[in-house]
Amino acid sequence: MIDGVEQRERAPGRALVEAGELVAGSMARGAAGLLFDPAPARVRLDAGLAAWLRRTADAADTEPPSPASTRGRCRAGAALAFATELSVTRAAQGRTVRTDAYLLPGPGERAPADEVGEAVLLAARATAEEWRVRHLGYLLAEAAVSPDLDPAVVHRGLRLATGLTGRQWVLLAAVGRRERVPLPMTPVPQDPRGWTAWGALEDLAELQRDGLLDPPPATPRPGGAALPRLRPADLRLTRRGVLVHRLLALDFVRDRAVADALADLAG
């Protein structure tokens, strides 16, 4: 017990990342080791990126523990573990950490990345759908290797993402992989009777109205002519949709989840 207290005092953020094991599995402990004790690890993270993730973990682990925040704390730790996991993958793919001012502290000793990190961990703490934590963590890693995305665009992408339902994330994932896994040609029901199909259709219509998917919702024609029937195969990501899909690394959404969402939409 004394050793645990000493370790927490020495590296408060490490305990946070390790707590993510409840959500992220045993990978969380490996990620904590890579961030806080990298010497034994077979892989390495960019020094600046690792320092930022440690700084983010330390800052997020300063609040006093309470029973109400225990699960949220685990989700925050898991998000950092997932960020570490994808950072290793992106490095292996040859994606280098951005060299602009994104990771560099500015006024108030805060870097733009610190603000993004805080916003992501707040979102991770708040979500009850814990599978989403994985993709929130991925946003941290993806933004760190995307110099074409300035901090304001990253914040915009996060705001768009957190305003969507989990099934909307999965529908974006489905459309994003349409070149590899063709979408159904059968038209979606226009007035489904079941609640599941109705909810899925509402999710899809909101994505269209909010400008994340094309085509936009069909508008009534003069004279009451029948509206064209929308097929999943007709859907395309808009630029907004591409931003959310890219930042959340929705390519990693599980195939089973995509199949279930499309089945919901079919009614």
> Which of 80, 90, 64 is CA-nearest to residue 14?
80
Per-residue model confidence (pLDDT) at position 5: 45
Asked if 128 and 177 sit in the same domain, the reply is no
CB neighbourhood size of 232 (10 A): 20
Asked if 201 and 127 sit in the same domain, the reply is no
Q: Please say which residue of 133, 153, 175 terminates a domain.
A: 133
Q: For 70-95, what is each residue's pLDDT tens digit? A: 899 999 999 999 999 999 999 999 99
Asked if 181 and 128 sit in the same domain, the reply is no
Asked if 116 and 187 sit in the same domain, the reply is no
Per-residue model confidence (pLDDT) at position 39: 85
Per-residue model confidence (pLDDT) at position 180: 92
Q: Please say which residue of 133, 157, 187 terminates a domain.
A: 133
> Three-class SS of residue 213?
strand
Q: Which domain holds residue 103?
A: 7-133
Asked if 128 and 11 sit in the same domain, the reply is yes
Per-residue model confidence (pLDDT) at position 267: 82
Low-confidence stretches of the chain (pLDDT beneath 50): 1-8
In a domain, 23, yes or no: yes
In a domain, 80, yes or no: yes
Asked if 180 and 235 sit in the same domain, the reply is yes
In a domain, 175, yes or no: yes
In a domain, 106, yes or no: yes
What CA–CA distances, in Å, run from 71 to 15, 32, 54, 122, 135? 14, 18, 20, 13, 17
Asked if 174 and 91 sit in the same domain, the reply is no
Per-residue model confidence (pLDDT) at position 63: 62
In a domain, 225, yes or no: no
Asked if 192 and 240 sit in the same domain, the reply is yes
Q: For 174-189, what is each residue's pLDDT tens digit? A: 999 999 999 999 999 9
> Which of 186, 206, 194, 82 is CA-nearest to residue 140?
82
Size (the chain), residues: 267
Report the domain count for the chain. 2
DSSP label at residue 191: S
In a domain, 148, yes or no: no
What would the DSSP string read from start to end of 99-155? -SGGGS--GGG--HHHHHHHHHHHHHHH-S-THHHHHHHHHHHHHHT-TTS-HHHHH
Q: The whole model's pTM is what?
A: 0.91
Per-residue model confidence (pLDDT) at position 6: 42
Q: Please say which residue of 133, 155, 180 terminates a domain.
A: 133
Long-range (24+ apart) CB contacts under 8 A made by 216-222 are none
Asked if 13 and 128 sit in the same domain, the reply is yes
